[in-house]
Amino acid sequence: MTRYSALALLHGALHGGRSWTRAWRDPEPKPSYDFVIVGGGGHGLATAYYLAKNHGIRRVAVLEKGWLGGGNTGRNTTIVRSNYRLPENQLFYDYSLSLWEDLSRELNFNVMFSPRGVLFLGHSDHDMSQLAERGNAMLAQGIDAELLDREAVSRFVPLLDCAPDARFPIQGGLLQRRAGTARHDAVAWGYARAADALGVDIIQNCEVTGFETNADAITAVRTTRGAIATRCVGLAVAGHTSHVAALAGLRLPIESHLLQAFVTEPLKPMIDTVVLSSAIHCYVSQTDKGEVVIGGDIDFYPSYSQRGSVARIAETAAQAVSLMPALGRLRMMRAWAGIMDMTMDGSPIIGPTPVDGLFLNGGWCYGGFKATPASGVTFAHTLATGTPHVLNAPFTLDRFEAGRLLDEKGSGATPQYH
């Protein structure tokens, strides 16, 4: 692997770009592996990387039915934050944020992590007391949080409509300065390249079609490129968790829903932070290319179609324009939808399943992208040692049976409302 550096860039430039080698191999699947990770998105690739790096396990394959990062890793709004309310989520996502801060150096790949701050807006007394409560809970865990009044919000994001007669009047906001955005594709590519360099086989165009078991223990994975023997499989397939797990006879506390996002034409820098309104659930940020990225609610019904309703686009655009009237003149360039596996309590599942040797990493709801590094570390730990990492111990599948739900929003077993 060519190490990326300023010197390598200069060398590449002087040699007409011919000195660059491919970033990862394209190996044929071997007949057997110690560990097989299903899903070549950020989570699967990060898991493979940390299996090799933290646990010295090199006989690892990542199987991807399409191309790397072609699922939800490339279908999100790239927001990274840890402003959660429940201690289990706070510890997990803040550990993830701390890994993001050093990820470009760790992977020798620029993931363009930009701690530009994430601002949650409050539109009422109730919103403000909820934000204050959340901020206090964050400070109690040592996570940075600042409560801003309306004037401070207006200074921080001048384009917001802070007039008292605005459609959604802004009273203030909760700011996490360490939070921000990252380049989503680079996360998949960076982990893929670093994992490959440690000997992990990344196999694309290889769809898993079934599992072979003996006495309820995994013995092999059937794929479109032949059977692969293994005793340990980690699923990291995002919105497809339910039907891939069903191949092993499992039924899960998950429903798959659509989440849409869209970008406008590129502009000069106008928003240097991330703005979210938790009350109307609209979020706005600007990429380094200049496009304004806008996201909103899910489409509120189960779907695997990866395309959403125009009505949701219109609603989210109206919300964004009401928050930031300057957006009203922009043309929308692209819209896309990802499949979210929404769990019954709104928190992810990372841990063992009733099938021996089959481990699950899924149910990320809206929160998958920011969780990528911590998900990789904790899932790799769980796979390598057979026991949970202290940070993913609360996120087991059996918490529903045990009644240890992690319901951040308190909306119960209605996955569309988390």
Partner 1 sequence: MHQFNCPFCGQRPETEFTYIRAMESIPRDIVADAAQELERIYYRTNSRGPSSELWQHSSGCRSWLAINRDTVTHAVLEIAPIGPHAIAP
Residues that bind partner 1 (CB under 8 A): 240, 242-243, 251-256, 300-305, 309-311, 344, 400-401, 413-414, 416
Q: How far is the C-alpha of 366 from the C-alpha of 348, rounded, in Å?
A: 10
Residue 96's SS3 state is helix
Q: Which is nearer to partner 1, 27 or 410 (CB)?
A: 410
Instruction: Please say which residue, 149 or 216, places its beta carbon nearer to partner 1.
Output: 216
CB 146 to partner 1: min, Å: 37
Least Å from the CB of residue 341 to partner 1:
8
Nearest to 168 by CA among 102, 205, 124, 138: 124
Q: Could you tell me the smallest distance in angstroms from the CB atom of residue 241 to partner 1? A: 8
Shortest spacing between CB 401 and partner 1, in angstroms: 6
Least distance between partner 1 and beta carbon 304 (Å): 5
Cα 332 from Cα 342, distance rounded (Å): 28
Signed CA dihedral, 24, 25, 26, 32: sign only: negative
- Report residue 60 as tokens: 């690892």
Tell me whether residue 88 or residue 299 sits nearer to partner 1 (CB atom): 299
Nearer Cβ to partner 1 (14/402): 402
The CB-of-357 to partner 1 minimum distance in angstroms stands at 21
Please say which residue, 75 or 240, places its beta carbon nearer to partner 1. Answer: 240
Measured from the CB of residue 416, what is the shortest distance to partner 1 in angstroms?
7
Our CB check for partner 1 shows the closer of 122 and 239 to be 239
CB nearer to partner 1: pick between 127 and 341: 341
Give 123-131 contacts, CB < 8 A, sequence gap 24+: 123/168, 123/169, 123/170, 123/171, 123/277, 123/279, 123/280, 124/171, 124/279, 125/171, 127/171, 127/278, 127/279, 128/171, 128/172, 130/278, 131/172, 131/173, 131/174, 131/278
Other residues' Cβ atoms within 10 Å of the Cβ of residue 139: 12
Which whole-number Å values give the CA distances from 69 to 65, 115, 185, 260, in the listed order? 11, 22, 6, 17
Alpha carbon distance 364, 340 (integer Å): 7
